[in-house]
Amino acid sequence: MSGLSGAELDAARAEAQEAVRALRSRRTTLDEASIDVILGDARSHYAWQDRPVSDELLHQLYTITAAGPTSMNTCPARFIFVTSEAGKDRLAKSLKAKNIDKMRAAPVTAIIAHDLEFWRDLPFLFPHEDRRPHFEGKPEHSEETAFRNGTLQGGYFMIAARALGLDVGAMSGFDNAIVDEEFFSGTTLKSNFLCNLGYADESALFQKLPRFEFDQVCSFV
């Protein structure tokens, strides 16, 4: 482990604090149109244009996603981008019939997974204190932490994709065990959910479904 200490730590903290102040001086909030793009008026999509998504854009998407916070900076999510016909054939084995065409039509389908042994990388990710004993030999706690934070990163992933001009369509209509056997056999990775990426064909959309009002699901104590 190589955590900073002394003057180096003080300098790193000062630099981080100044970076946040500089960010806030440039922009304190997103405008309404930007919020609509990522959540407010965004839609899940099920049909896709025949338009490729570049590797460069996927790299940019990951970089933005990786910036999102996770507990103890565990970063357990792993992203497998299925783009080839061979990969789609393998993934199709796990899908419910109604989802196969959706997946095949999308330029990219991301398998959002998490590493059950994420804690082995904590000396790099959380270098100022050895947190491996919190997880080593505790598989239930490790899996709970990996699933929670990997799901959180999956949410960042979808918002980041929309911010970059991509459309998304998350899918849970598949068999996780088949995906894990097909793509992660012999590893410590487990699949969570799938997400189609690309540029949507809006003609397949139907009306937006209702959402709860604040007072229906929120309260103060």
Residue 5 identity: S
Query: What pLDDT score does 128 carry?
Result: 86
Distance, CA of 214 to chain centre: 26
pLDDT band per the 50, 70, 90 thresholds, residue 5: confident
Whether 1 has a pLDDT exceeding 80, the answer reads no
Question: Which two structure tokens, joined as six digits, stand for 60?
Answer: 């940019």
**Digit-coded pLDDT (tens) for 91-123:** 999 999 999 999 999 999 999 999 999 999 999
**How many percent of the chain have pLDDT more than 70?**
99
Question: Which two structure tokens, joined as six digits, stand for 220?
Answer: 């103060």
In angstroms, the CA 147 to CA 143 distance is 6
**Digit-coded pLDDT (tens) for 136-194:** 999 999 999 999 999 999 999 999 999 999 999 999 999 999 999 999 999 999 999 99
Burial class (CB in 10 A: 0-12, 13-18, 19+), 98: exposed
**Which of 57, 78, 54 shows the shortest CA–CA distance to 66?**
78
**3: DSSP letter:** -
Nearest-10 Cα torsion for 213, 216, 220, 221: -170
In angstroms, the CA 172 to CA 102 distance is 12
Query: What pLDDT score does 2 carry?
Result: 63
| Residue with the larger pLDDT of the pair 27 and 107 | 107
Beta strand ranges found along 27-127 (DSSP E)? 77-82, 108-115
**Digit-coded pLDDT (tens) for 189-210:** 999 999 999 999 999 999 999 9
- What number of residues does the chain have? 221
User: If DSSP codes are grouped into helix, strand and coil, which group holds residue 74?
Assistant: coil
For helices 139-163 and 55-66, the axis angle rounded to 10 degrees is 120
pTM: 0.94
User: If DSSP codes are grouped into helix, strand and coil, which group holds residue 112?
Assistant: strand
- Mean pLDDT for the stretch of residues 76-86: 98
Helix, strand, coil proportions of the chain in percent (round to 5)?
A: 50, 15, 35
Q: Is residue 160 within 8 Å of residue 65, measured between CB atoms?
A: yes
User: If DSSP codes are grouped into helix, strand and coil, which group holds residue 174?
Assistant: strand
Q: What is the mean pLDDT of the chain?
A: 96
The domains located in the chain, with CATH, are 44-204 (3.40.109.10)
Query: What pLDDT score does 130 carry?
Result: 94
Q: Is residue 114 within 8 Å of residue 189, measured between CB atoms?
A: yes
